[in-house]
Amino acid sequence: MTWTEAVVVSHSPATPDIVVIDLAPAAGDGFPAYTAGAHIDVLIAPGLVRQYSLCGPPEGGRYRLAVLDGPSSRGGSQTIHGLRVGDRLRISAPRNRFPLVTARRHLLFAGGIGITPLLAMVRRLEHEGGDYALHYCARSRDRAAFVEELAGNPRVALHFDEGDPGQLLDIARDLGDPQPDTAVYVCGPDGFMDYVLGKAEALGWPPQALHKERFAAAAQPPGAGTGGFTVRLASTGAEYLVPDGSSVLDVLLENGVDAPYSCRQGICGTCVVRVLAGDPDHRDDVLTDDERAEGMFTTCSSRARSPVLELDLNG
């Protein structure tokens, strides 16, 4: 992966546990533009990479991140919170696995820090005159980042756990039955996402209308697809045993294969390769059903149901 050095030019708290930072290039006039829903990789330490959504205006040549330092943090968030103006860090170019799609209407559901990619979408839709509604859920008003910016928008509904019961999120009311040419976007903690997506499915929304981005891959049922298998590289014929407890990516890297990767959780799409033969056991939370049907496969999180899985990857 190619890294760009960035410098922190602004660092301020948005809530007691969310910090907003602006990054500028350490050299050059500005960063490349990006599309709403994009994220960047941040190299926290050697071997420690984290992904953060870009939530600022895509113009101006700077990148803005909003980062939660919560109890489930895996180390990166604490580092981001500890940065100061003038500090430097390395970042990747933006990637977007959660873009706005072409639709007549857009319904956006954010839970907590999940507002970050959706905020960029709101700004883009406002700029383009798009038809949308945003439902932003948080524990309380003082725990919701960007609430002052969003509160005056008639197309934004704020739902706080500590508020009046009448303003709580109601999926039957706020999402409703499936509507033609309508796209639904969901981002937030796993519990929030599972609730919204489960209710949407129960209401009859088709999978192709539901777009999601998770902070971590969804939990797998106990015992799902356990056991070892062999991965074969079509380019060389080399075969490697992938034991239970190790990922395909782990085994490839251990054997000197130059395999791409970033998040190692099945949520960013960097490690995706094509399966040429075998039956994959998909455990990612980034590929669409169509991409899986086309043979796409995440080496960092997915496994195999067949004894051998052949990949289109150079050795």
3-state secondary structure the chain: CCCEEEEEEEEEEEECCEEEEEEEECCCCCCCCCCCCCEEEEEEECCEEEEEECCCCCCCCCEEEEEECCCCCCCHHHHHHCCCCCCEEEECCCECCCCCCCCCEEEEEEEHHHHHHHHHHHHHHHHHCCEEEEEEEECCHHHCCCHHHHHCCCCEEEEECCCCHHHCCCHHHHCCCCCCCEEEEEECCHHHHHHHHHHHHHCCCCHHHEEEECCCCCCCCCCCCCCCEEEEECCCCCEEEECCCCCHHHHHHHCCCCCCCCCCCCCCCCCEEEEEECCEECCCCCCCHHHHHCCEEECCCCEECCCEEEEECCC
pLDDT of residue 74: 62
pLDDT band at 71 (very low <50, low <70, confident <90, very high): low
Task: Tell me what pLDDT residue 61 has.
Answer: 84
**CATH classification for the domain delimited by 4-91, as one of 3.40.50.620, 3.20.20.70, 3.40.50.10420, 2.40.30.10:** 2.40.30.10
Q: What is the mean pLDDT of the chain?
A: 91
Domain 105-213 has CATH 3.40.50.80: yes
Task: Confirm whether pTM is higher than 0.85.
Answer: no
pLDDT > 60? residue 225: no
CATH topology of domain 229-312: Ubiquitin-like (UB roll) (3.10.20)
pLDDT in tens, 136-173: 999 999 999 999 999 989 999 999 998 789 999 999 99
CATH 3.40.50.80 positions along the chain are 105-213
Q: What is the mean pLDDT of residues 192-216?
A: 94
Task: Report residue 262's pLDDT band, with 50, 70 and 90 as the boundaries.
Answer: confident
Residues of CATH 3.10.20.30 domain(s) within the chain? 229-312
Query: Residues spanned by CATH 2.40.30.10 within the chain?
Result: 4-91
Asked if the model's pLDDT at residue 103 lies above 80, the reply is yes
